[in-house]
Amino acid sequence: MNRIVFLSIISVFIFACQPNANTKQTGQNSNNFSFVFMTDIHLTEARDATKGFLQAVDTINKIAPDFVLTGGDNIMDALAVSYTESVSAYDLFEESIKKLNMPVYSTMGNHEVFGLYERSGVSPDHEEYGKKLYENRLAQRYYSFDHKNWHFVVLDAIGFTDDRHYYGHIDAEQLVWLKQDLDKIGDRPVVVSTHIPLLSVGAQIMNEPTAAMSNAEIVTNASEVREILEQYNTKLVLQGHLHFLEDIQYNGINYITGGAVCASWWQGPRFGMEEGFIKVKASGEDFDWEYVDYGWEVAAE
């Protein structure tokens, strides 16, 4: 199935479910801007990934958005490898991302979590175990920022099980912070970034119509998060993790799962979707978006 047909199927399904648009024109031209959401880069020195990522960077620089927001899984992996390998992965990403000509805001993915899997050989007593290495290298695990008339919220959607695996979860500390943060901004339009989705039909498309999302594929307390977001002027939730493209409109919010910069982990298209990223244009309180295929192809063997 080619990419155009795939997009058409998803669009028909979603807009049939929720036909009313969630945005409106305000005419606030001074607040026009664009940004790029690039998720699931999985940068590595293998598979020509660095070459592919730099091609994406070059494409973004030509588009010249106001800023870039990553959706997590910026590196190939820190879950199951040593400290030395994890640091090298972060070094590669930080050096490569410097080539972007605009500010970059990061979201944490599960693959940024250091040493969580027992096979990594890392002790939980390590000073940078878990999320600390990410916070030391890239960004706080959750935070917010403003751009023009819009407010952006970046969430940490990674929970840990007792047996050292991850699952989708927004912890209680963040839920309290989220409401306090949104209480301060009045009626400003809001964009949320979360690596693991708050809403998705991915399993039904990628597996079978009756398939359910696993606790590692969806935020398990998403209903609590959505209930908070629906109390404010939330326009858009940007999601990653599934390497899958979809746009669901529900209760006035667009939930866009943003494909993947690496598609099928730098091995070609995944479910018909090429390597790419989301470009969002905002105008007043309105927005539109497109998926940009930046043209990378797997080298012939």
DSSP sequence for 183-209? HTSTT--EEEEESS-SS--HHHHHT-T
* Residue type at position 131: K
* Residue 196 belongs to some domain of the structure: yes
Other beta carbons within 10 angstroms of residue 19's beta carbon come to 8
- pLDDT at position 301, please? 60
Q: Give the closest residue to 132 by CA, choosing from 156, 154, 152.
A: 156
CATH for 70: 3.60.21.10
Question: Residue 122 forms beta bridges with which residues?
Answer: none
Please enumerate in sequence order all residues whose Cβ is within 8 A of that of 91, keeping only pairs 6 or more positions apart, or say none.
none
Whether 69 maps to a domain, the answer reads: yes
Q: How far is CA 7 from CA 3, 32, 40, 53, 110, in A?
A: 6, 26, 19, 23, 27
**Distance between CA 275 and CA 52 in Å, rounded?**
9
The torsion of the CA quartet 265, 269, 275, 280, rounded to 10 degrees, works out to -120
Region at 298 (left for phi over 0; alpha for psi -120 to 50; beta for the rest): beta
Q: What is the residue range of 106's domain?
A: 3-293
- Considering the domain boundaries, does residue 266 fall inside one? yes
In a domain, 299, yes or no: no
Please check whether residue 300 lies inside any domain of the structure.
Answer: no
pLDDT category at 293 given cuts 50, 70, 90 is: very high
Q: Residue 102 falls within a domain, yes or no?
A: yes
Please give the DSSP secondary-structure letter assigned to residue 51: H
If one counts the domains in the chain, the total is 1
Asked whether residue 301 is domain-assigned, the answer is: no
Q: Say if residue 20's pLDDT is above 70.
A: no
pTM of the predicted structure, to 2 decimals: 0.89
Is the separation of the CB atoms in 134 and 87 below 8 Å? no
In this predicted structure, the answer to whether residue 14 has a pLDDT above a threshold of 80 is: no
Predicted confidence (pLDDT) at residue 22 exceeds the cutoff of 60: no
**pLDDT digits 0-9 by tens, 151-197:** 999 999 999 999 999 999 999 999 999 999 999 999 999 999 999 99
The residue among 210, 234, 274, 94 whose CA lies nearest residue 152 is 234
